[in-house]
């Protein structure tokens, strides 16, 4: 692996479906404006509650991508 430099940005994905879906949504959104997205790390899982049930999941995650030459 050559001397790559990577950058990490922190996003919060949300979904009324599932934890995985919230992660997918964040990565999909990031990939619309960031190239070379390589990995993610979950920071926190939380969510909103309505009428005694989970209304949506909110997953805070760091997304790592390779920085192209400056």
Q: Is the dihedral of CA 14, 10, 41, 64 positive or negative?
A: positive
Residue identified by tokens 């949504």 is 25
**27/60 Cα distance (integer angstroms):** 11
Shortest approach of a second copy to residue 59 CB, angstroms? 9
Shortest approach of a second copy to residue 8 CB, angstroms? 4
What mask, x for binding a second copy by CB under 8 A, covers residues 13 to 42?
Answer: xxxx-xxx--xxxxxxxxxxx---xxxxxx
Residue identified by tokens 């692996």 is 1
Residues forming the site for a second copy (CB under 8 A): 1, 3-16, 18-20, 23-33, 37-42, 44-49, 51-57, 60, 62-64, 67, 70
């Amino acid at each position: 692996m050559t001397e790559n430099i990577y950058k990490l940005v922190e996003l919060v994905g949300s979904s009324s479906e599932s934890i995985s879906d919230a992660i997918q949504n964040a990565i999909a959104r990031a990939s619309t404006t960031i190239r070379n997205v390589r990995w993610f790390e979950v920071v926190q899982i939380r969510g909103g509650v309505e009428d005694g049930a989970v209304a949506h999941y909110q997953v805070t995650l760091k997304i790592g991508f390779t920085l192209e030459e400056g």
